[in-house]
Amino acid sequence: MSRILSGFRLNGETRLDSVVVNVASDVRNHSTSIEPQVNEKSFEKFYIQGGLNVKPLIIERRIREAVVNYCGFPVGNVAANDPADKQPLNYDQAFIRDFVPSALAFLLKGEGEVVKICLLHTLQLQSWEKTVDCYSPGEGLMPASFKVRTVPLDGRNGEFEDVLDPDFGESAIGRVAPVDSGLWWIILLRAYGRITGDYTLQDRVDVQTGISLILNLCLSDGFDMFPTLLVTDGSCMIDRRMGIHGHPLEIQLR
């Protein structure tokens, strides 16, 4: 099913050339010159000369190449962007969790509209129906990732449309359903409001509904009566099940 949001426009070209997150104040106060160097992996390093505690500031220009566009707008970035990889598994998809660092970079550059569009698009992929069998995603579950596919329009020769194809674990390496993607979505929503000062997004009815569904899913009551934390198989693993189920000691000690 095609899910298309309209009414969003970006002013100017979306770019992310560089992000400098944490620079020690003593380096800023005592630096005298900046000297760029390029290594064999095409990553540019800037060495601040004449400063104290000099450390290279690494700027990855390839982040623009990893951006995923949907209907002409950036909605995330692929997990790994290696053109030489003939079998990328599911790393050619845009993960909600993996987009968070890039989203923070966009926010710090004042390009919050990119993050806003991503939040709204991924919200449309949330499961709004309860589980009816073992293959259906539960109500409130957010996809681990999604992929933009270009498909032909029915009955229109030569015309195509972009479709968001969500992955609820069926394409994961270990076929594990996403556990943390909904929480990362809420964290990113909070970061968007704090950095941009725009809290109208989180006040929207559809966004509040999405938050409630995520929290109801994560905080649902169970029948377990032990005082220790119940860990179901795959709930503490990222890529694959490891046969951990019940009340493992290593989880209780964390």
67-84 tens-digit pLDDT: 888 888 888 888 777 777
Over residues 199-244, the pLDDT tens digits come to 999 999 999 999 999 988 877 776 677 777 777 766 666 666 667 7
| 106 and 193, same domain (yes or no) | yes
d(CA 27, CA 145): 39
d(CA 79, CA 95): 6
Render the burial of 188-206: b for 16+ CB within 10 Å, e for the rest: bbebbbebbeeeebbeeee
- Residue 194 inside a domain? The answer is yes
| 58 and 98, same domain (yes or no) | no
| 47 and 32, same domain (yes or no) | yes
| 108 and 56, same domain (yes or no) | no
- Residue 143 inside a domain? The answer is yes
The total number of structural domains in the chain stands at 3
d(CA 32, CA 228): 57
| 251 and 162, same domain (yes or no) | no
Give pLDDT, residue 234: 63
- Residue 9 inside a domain? The answer is no
Question: What is the pTM for the complete model shown?
Answer: 0.64
Among 39-53, 66-80, 167-181, which is the least confidently predicted range? 39-53
* Residue whose pair of structure tokens reads 């990889």 in the numeric block: 85
| 130 and 52, same domain (yes or no) | no
Banded model confidence at residue 62, pLDDT cuts 50, 70, 90: low
Give pLDDT, residue 195: 95
In one letter, which amino acid is 108? Answer: L
Q: Sort 221 into a burial class: Cβ within 10 Å, 0-12 / 13-18 / 19+.
A: exposed
Q: Which has more pLDDT, 98 or 61?
A: 98
Q: Quick check: 43 pLDDT over 70?
A: no
Mean pLDDT of 115-133: 81
Give pLDDT, residue 212: 94
- Residue 2 inside a domain? The answer is no
Q: Domain residues for 33?
A: 17-63
